[in-house]
Structure formats: C-alpha cells, structure tokens
Amino acid sequence: MTQCFKEHPIDDQRLNHNSTPVADCECKEVRLYGSKTLVTDVPILTCSCLWRTYQREAEKIVAPDGELIADPVERNRAINAAYARLWLHDRRFQWAGLAAFASKQVGCGLLHAADSIDLIRDEYEARQRLRDSRRESGILTPDRMSEQAGALRDYKEADARNPVPSVDFRSAEEDLSLVQQQFRHVYDMMALGNTTLFLDVYPLHEFYAKRGLKELKQCLDARVEIYGHPKFPVLWPVGQEKLQFGRDYPEVLLAFEAIEAGDIARSVEYLALHEQKNILQPTIYKDRQLTALLRGNHASYVTGFPSGVAQAIELTLTSQCQRVTDGRTIGFGSNPLADLSEINQRMEFVLQAAARFDQMLNDHNRNALEQSINEIVSSGSKL
C-alpha cells in the first residue's frame, strides 16, 4: 500500500469515547442548581467529528488554501491523482482506479472546450484586425498592402484552426459568441460534476480505510449533519438546494459491504450507480442546456456533420487523451440519437468500461494500467 491519507490522532481513537484523557481536560467552577460545582469538559469522538476530519481532507485536495483551485483543469488533475492514489493505496478500491481514468477523460473534455473557446476568439480577433486595416486605409493602398496581406494571412490561418462553422452569433454586449457560451457552459458543468463527485466519494473511502465497515455503517447517517455548522463549513459548490450533502444512499453501504466481502466487481457496480444516479444526475444531467449540447455533440460526432466540431464520448484507459485502437478505448456508441443524460444509457456505457477495466487488471494489460495510473499521479503531483 502507498501513503494516501494524512494521519490524524483520531484515526486510532475509540468512537464515542473521550478523545482526551480526563486528567488533561480543563476543570472549571460553574453554578449549577444554585450551588458552585466543578465541571470537567471532556471531548468525545463522535461520528460527526470523523466526518468533519475526512471531509476536510478531501477539501484540501481541491481547495488547498480554503478556496477551490481556480483553474478547473488544474483542479481536475488534482482529483485524478487523488483517485489514482486511492487505488494504489488499496487495490480493492477498484472504482477509484476506474474513476482516475474517467476523471482524466473529463479533463480532456475541459481542455477541448477551453481550446475551442480560444480558437474561436483567435479567429474573431484576426477578422477584426483585418477589417480595421481595410476600413482605415482601403484595400489597395500601396504602402499598406504588405500589412494587409499579413493580416489576411493571419485571418486565414486562424479561420482554418477555428473548429466551428463560420456562422456564429456575437452580441455587442457579450464577450463570448453564442458558440463560445455553449462551450463555456459545458466546461463549467463538467467541472462542477467532477468536483462534486470527488467531494462526495473521497471521504467515504477514507472513512472506510481508517475506521472499517462496522463504524462506516454506524456513522453513514450522521454525515448529513455536518453541513451548515457555523464553525466548520462544508465546501459544497453544487449547493444544498440542487443536491443535499452527505445523504445516506443505499448504494454506498452496499458497495463497501461488497469490498469487505471481496466482491470487487460488484462494489464497482454499486459505486458507479451511486456516482451516476445519486450525484451526477441531479448535479449536471438535469440541466437542459447541457443535455441538449451533449446530444448535439454526439450526433455531430457520429454523423461527421459539421466536421471538426464534436468530440467523441469515450473513455480511454491510458493517461493520455488520444483514443487508442488496442481495446483500451470504450466508446458511447454509434447511434446518433443516443442520449448521455439518460441514466440507463449512461450506465450501460459506464458498466462496459468497468468490465473492460476489470478484465485488463486480470490479463497481460495490468502492468500498462498500473503505469498509466502512476503517470496520472505524477501529473497531479506537479501542480
């Protein structure tokens, strides 16, 4: 096992017992029932104490200074590395190993959206420079022809790199065009889902790793109670109205019971269902704008129209974004009407990826998988 979690004094203390020796506790005189009485405040280790500690450890990964890492791509790399370290720490945490690759793929989507926004901006700015040059001095002014030729060349190069069709709407009051706004919405929603899922599942794994199944079962329903504490706020960017923090979903306990029983493949299925149904569905897949954009993207990719705009919905079990042809890339399918926001269709895709991951862990591909997971850790450690 690798070092994954920070050690805390409470890790080895008994639940519902004093966490500080009584002799070391402060004793003070108070008036009780009309008479002076000596009272000793003895701190007790409760389920809530444990959850606050382990939740805070997850928060430190995505918000090391108390604020979320501003760049969602950098935050994503930190999340990828944390998932990868979970699997390296305990190979029974197979869902986390798969999540390292799935989260990496989210990062690929973030990069695609960000690059598309930048390329559209480059084309727009190059076009504006060309228009300004022609407006100032006309098209055939001898002493400006070389400059205008350069501006035209820059525009053609930027236009060739622009991944979207030339038909795009840009309001004078908006910094981003309509297509850029669509890419930005996908970017923001993917980052939100990525962060929310991590803040939900990472503390569950740390609790189980340090306290075991018995206490996890005993404390699961207490996790929801730590939200809203004035002294110990919980970082929950999705918001309590959209998704209640820390709910005791049945799939969670079933997953860790399966881990305890050695049924690792079943544990992955339960955690995948929890991830998709309980967390991501309400967090991002109920957003109508996002689901419409995802459907349009998939249809465009499958049909090839318009060309060069869409990105494949797929999971590649390597540390890179590029798809491979050796069986390590799992695609969402070739049906242009497929809908990623529909939970059953999405679960079929996720379980297909889980089955392939499990198969590769048990054949000649295992070393390649481990190398990729270590590369994901290294990528996140560079932040």
User: Confidence band (pLDDT; 50, 70, 90) for 149?
Assistant: low
pLDDT value at residue 130 = 65
pLDDT higher for 55 or 41? 55
pLDDT at 33 over 60: yes
Contact 218, 45 (CB under 8 A): no
Instruction: Give the range among 20-34, 36-50, 299-313 with minimum mean pLDDT.
Output: 20-34
* CA dist., res. 79 & res. 196, Å (int): 11
pLDDT value at residue 1 = 47
Q: Is 315 helix (H, G, I), strand (E, B) or coil?
A: strand
Contacts of 351 (CB under 8 A, 6+ apart): 269, 272
Interval 36-41 mean pLDDT: 63
Q: What would the pLDDT profile of 44-83 be if each residue is shown by its tens digit?
A: 789 999 999 999 999 999 999 899 999 999 999 999 999 9
* CA dist., res. 60 & res. 67, Å (int): 9
CA 302 to the chain's CA centroid: 26
**How many Cβ atoms are within 10 Å of 91's Cβ, its own excluded?**
13
Contacts of 67 (CB under 8 A, 6+ apart): none
Cα–Cα distance list, 187 to 98, 114, 277, 290, 358 (Å): 22, 7, 21, 10, 30
Among the residues of the chain, which ranges form H helices?
Answer: 47-62, 72-89, 94-137, 145-161, 178-219, 250-261, 264-273, 288-303, 343-361, 366-381
* CA dist., res. 83 & res. 101, Å (int): 9
Q: Is 282 helix (H, G, I), strand (E, B) or coil?
A: helix
pTM of the model: 0.87
Q: What would the pLDDT profile of 88-105 be if each residue is shown by its tens digit?
A: 999 999 999 999 999 999
Q: Which phi and psi (to 5°) does residue 319 adopt?
A: -85, -5
Among the residues of 2-71, which ranges form H helices?
Answer: 47-62
pLDDT value at residue 184 = 92
